[in-house]
Structure 1
Amino acid sequence: MPIPTSITTRLEYQHKSLMDIIEGLSDQQIRRQVILGKWSIFENIVHLATYEHAFMERVQHILDEDQPQFQRYVAEMDPLFHDNCTKTTREIMQDLITTRRELIDKTLSLDDDQLKRPGVHPSFGAMNIIHWLHFFVLHEAHHLFTVFKLVPGARTEMDN
């Protein structure tokens, strides 16, 4: 049961579209709260970088434990999220890229038995590591699309 190419390709390249999406925006624009009460582009990027770390920990728990049960991940409850919000966009992007490489290397090194190991998601139930990887790239895609939708507002807000 190798990891499907549809997952490995997205793991390898999907996050790289972020630089294209935010190209030309200043740090001030990236940090601007475009929609009141919603995350800024920056906070979405911080969430993606921070969640990579949480996801790596979850994969390790799945490998080390028998059907670990996970709580819903809430960024605001993660001290790393708050710490990362104090960093620069460049630092967060570098962390995202570095951690992604580690995630790819880790998951591609897993054998079939390891990939079949389950962890229990609070909404989706027991999922093997391949299903967790599907979840990861779909979750990331959702936030990339959110950033894409915020960019015009970030530009407009600064132009006025």
Structure 2
Amino acid sequence: MKLYPALVSRLANQHEAIASIVASANEAKLKKEIRAGKWSIHENIVHLVKYQPVFIDRIHIMLTQPEPIFEAYVADNDPEFEEWKKWDSERLMNALQKDRQAILHLITSLPDEKLARVGIHKKFGRLTIVQWTEFFLLHEAHHMFTIFQLANTIIE
């Protein structure tokens, strides 16, 4: 199992678009529930930031245990999520960058045989570390698209 250039590039850079996407939104818009019952821009960003340490932990578990099974991460069931929602944008973006550097280093430093280690996702089955990383990035991209939509929604 090998890393491919597009994966490494996205892992290194994809998250950096968040700051540009929300640059024109003030703090009130970041925290406003634009769609009833759905997360705000801020809550989507908190979710992305909070999931990074979860992802790091899962990779370490995959490296030390044979084919561990992971439940879906549900932010609303994470007691720390409420605390992290109190963080300001600067603190969130700093944590996003710091943890992303840790993820990038962890993933890119693994030899091919370690990248082939497997963790079991309840919905998607057996995934290698490379596939988990792709899943991580696609999940992040989904939330980034949501953030883009919310940031560009006209509020009346």
Settle same-fold status: TM greater than 0.5.
yes
Equivalent residue, structure 2, for 1:121: 121
Query: Residues 47-86 of structure 1 correspond to what in structure 2 (within 5 A)?
Result: 47-86=47-86
- Structure 2: runs of 5+ lacking an equivalent: none
Verify: 1:87 aligned to 2:93, yes or no: no
Query: Residues 93-112 of structure 1 correspond to what in structure 2 (within 5 A)?
Result: 93-112=93-112
Deviations 1:104-128 (A, max 9, x none): 0011110111100000001000100
State the SS of the aligned residue for 1:120: strand
Equivalent residue, structure 2, for 1:145: 145
Deviations 1:120-151 (A, max 9, x none): 00100010000001101100000000001101
Deviation at 1:79, TM superposition (A): 2.0
Deviation at 1:152, TM superposition (A): 2.2
Deviations 1:33-86 (A, max 9, x none): 100100000000000000111111110110010100000110011122211101
Deviations 1:2-38 (A, max 9, x none): 3111110101111001111001211111011100100
Equivalent residue, structure 2, for 1:22: 22
Equivalent residue, structure 1, for 2:131: 131
What's the % identity of the aligned pairs? 35
Match of 1:24, as an amino acid?
A: S
Aligned partners of 1:116 and 1:74: how far apart in 2?
Answer: 26
Aligned partners of 1:69 and 1:14: how far apart in 2?
Answer: 27
Match of 1:135, as an amino acid?
A: F
Match of 1:37, as an amino acid?
A: G
User: Which of structure 1's runs of 4+ aligned residues deviate more than 6 A?
Assistant: none
Verify: 1:46 aligned to 2:32, yes or no: no
Query: TM-score of the superposition, structure 2-length normalised?
Result: 0.97
> Pairwise CA RMSD of aligned residues?
0.9
- Structure 1: runs of 5+ lacking an equivalent: none
